[in-house]
Structure 1
Amino acid sequence: MVVGSAPLFGVLLALVSAAVLAVGNLWQSRGVNLVSAAAERSGENKTPFIALLKTPIWLAGSALFGIAILLQMGSLAFAPLILVQPIGVTALVFSAILNARVRRAPLPRRVLLGIAISLIGVIAYVVIAALVSKQKPISDGQLIAILVTLAGVLAIAAAIRFGTRGTTKAPIFYVVLGGIFSGFVATLGKTVILRVETMFAGHRMVFDSGSVLTLICILGIGIASALSIYFVQYSHTCNPPDVVIAGLTVVDPAVAVVLGIVILQEATGAPWISFVGFLAAGAAAFVGVVILARAESAEEADPHTTETIERGAQRQAESG
């Protein structure tokens, strides 16, 4: 099987990645909540990282998070970025189903409505992307453009994060930052995959300026990954798990798709009507995610539901 020659296999890997991510996100959130509750009882204001490392359910969730990233990178090896990255929206669908099983309750109508709208949007988007998307070798200029964009985002994020120190930020702020850097991880990962594929296909095993750029790209993946993980973990301390994964599944694909279309030019030559279809399908998926996240947040806020979830999390932690 040649890398880049099996888009359907790439789509399948992306779906598996979304399912694994949903489970990992749920377990990480439970772990953070357990440690935060213990810290509050002991009079601490912050969630101690060392305590997280001693929490089995958080460690298991982190391992699944890593596996989900590897599966997503695998999907990018077989299909264009703009085709597989938006499939991550289905992680919220899997998350809603998992939460319903934890609560041992049927899915509410609004949750079912959100799932239906999200799936319609994602399926429509994937069909359009499969028809018009193309992938080709990444030029040095394109790679430099991505790295410069990442540097600009890092500068803006640092200015906001430290320039407004002492002021209260909306909890969703950290979710958005986690999603932005996660989108860069996928895009940079795609560039490395394609450049390595081109290198082996052309039998050009030389160390030149292009190789230096690829190494810088790998460094950028490390930085973006670390920041994404940090902000996602922090997001769990001030947001319900469904809000975290909803934000990630909206912001991450949006960033990756914009970079894929504008810089990687994966939709070059596509008719204008396809872009209208992209916007309509993306809007439908976004509306479905919003409905789903709000419905799930309302369920989280219900005292009886919260108590049930906490008991389930405690059981998972004790058995972990």
Structure 2
Amino acid sequence: MDPDLTDLGEQIALDPQQFIGIPLALIGAVFLSLGAQFQHRGVVKVESHTTDTLGKGLNGKQLMLLLARPSWVIGTLMLGLAIVFQLTSLYFAPLIVVQPLGAIALVITSIVNSKVNHVQLNRTSITAIVMCVGGVFLFVGVAAFTAVDKPVTERQLAVILIVLAIVLVLAGLAFAFFRRSIRAIFYVLLAGVLYGFVATLAKVIIGRIQQGEFEWLTLLCVIALLAATALGAYFVQNAYASGPPDLVIAGLTVVDPLVAVVIGIVVLGEASQAPPWAMVVFAVTGVIAVWGVFLLARSHPQTRL
């Protein structure tokens, strides 16, 4: 066999099973977008009937009232389906392959909003959509051929949990000192960071189960995942109460994949076998996709940043 072809084959960590995760992640992104639309509608209706807290975030009573809103319940069920598809995609593919595909949810959200509100997408929005979709699919296309699933070690679990604990402490301090001036973007960014860790914890838990190693540290990861999911969901509801769905989805689809991909590369070593050219492509396409998401969030007719 040609030595050059042998070297190329060693560089490409192709596993056909990884491609199963891509359509599953795309389906999850669709449910994420639609779920956000329905949840936002329910939150707005609840807050509009409690004007004394309008724009100040949700209190306990309002959270209970959401359970009586059909739109919010439907949205929650859709988000539940989005989580199921995401977890299933993580079973088949590395984190850095499927997690960036969540950015497609912003594109769907923008298009749905324009149809529902009978507002035509402007040229800048269309350009941003092309940047977002193109950047994400190029990133995922290269990652699908170069990323690898590696055994998850106890050291990696400990690093992820320690970093998450530091993030929670910093977030708590920020919330304590700036609570009165908090805006939607704070809730969106923090929720995005938490969901990035949720995806990462889900991936490492799945990995440990596949390895047949479920010990106390893995159980601690499960507890951390549930806590981060609940807290992230609370921040998302408050973001809906103080900002448009486009802002929420834009923030989540930028911060969530960014956090997860960084952890996947730096801590889990999913790009350890990627050749240098692939790392360059990751950086360039990642910047293009993130730039497109922010441009779309700012230029869409229904977005109010």
2:72 matches 1:58: yes
In structure 1, what is the equivalent of residue 291 of structure 2?
287
Offset at 1:299?
A: 2.9
Q: Pick the aligned partner of 1:9 from 20, 36, 42.
A: 20
- Residue 30 of structure 2 aligns with an amino acid whose one-letter code is A
The answer on whether the counterparts of 1:5 and 1:78 sit within 8 Å (CA) in structure 2 is no
Offset at 1:62?
A: 1.0
In structure 1, what is the equivalent of residue 196 of structure 2?
183
Quick one: distance in 1 between partners of 2:140 and 2:259?
16
For residues 78-116 of structure 1, the C-alpha deviation after alignment (integer angstroms, 9 at most, x for no partner) is 000011000000000111121122123443222211111
C-alpha spacing 1:224/1:239, structure 2 compared with 1 (3 Å): same
The answer on whether the counterparts of 1:118 and 1:285 sit within 8 Å (CA) in structure 2 is yes
Quick one: distance in 2 between partners of 1:246 and 1:129?
22
Structure 1: which 5+ runs fail to align?
Answer: 205-209, 302-320
In structure 2, what is the equivalent of residue 129 of structure 1?
143
Offset at 1:165?
A: 3.8
SS state of the match for residue 142, structure 1? Answer: helix
In structure 2, what is the equivalent of residue 299 of structure 1?
302
For residues 121-158 of structure 1, the C-alpha deviation after alignment (integer angstroms, 9 at most, x for no partner) is 00110112112210021011111111111111111111
C-alpha spacing 1:44/1:96, structure 2 compared with 1 (3 Å): closer
Q: How does 1:1-40 map to 2 (within 5 A)?
A: 6-40=17-51
Offset at 1:163?
A: 3.1
The answer on whether the counterparts of 1:32 and 1:237 sit within 8 Å (CA) in structure 2 is yes
Offset at 1:274?
A: 1.7
Fraction of identical pairs, as percent? 41
SS state of the match for residue 73, structure 1? Answer: helix
SS state of the match for residue 268, structure 1? Answer: coil
- Residue 243 of structure 2 aligns with an amino acid whose one-letter code is N
- Residue 302 of structure 2 aligns with an amino acid whose one-letter code is E
Quick one: distance in 1 between partners of 2:178 and 2:120?
43
Q: How does 1:158-307 map to 2 (within 5 A)?
A: 158-166=172-180, 168-199=181-212, 211-296=215-300, 298-300=301-303
In structure 2, what is the equivalent of residue 113 of structure 1?
127
Quick one: distance in 2 between partners of 1:288 and 1:258?
19
Offset at 1:295?
A: 2.0
| TM-score, normalising length: structure 2 | 0.89
In structure 1, what is the equivalent of residue 95 of structure 2?
81
Offset at 1:288?
A: 1.0
Q: Pick the aligned partner of 1:145 from 146, 159, 170.
A: 159
Size of the aligned set, in residue pairs, is: 285
In structure 2, what is the equivalent of residue 315 of structure 1?
none
Structure 2: which 5+ runs fail to align?
Answer: 1-14
Offset at 1:300?
A: 4.6
The answer on whether the counterparts of 1:5 and 1:79 sit within 8 Å (CA) in structure 2 is no
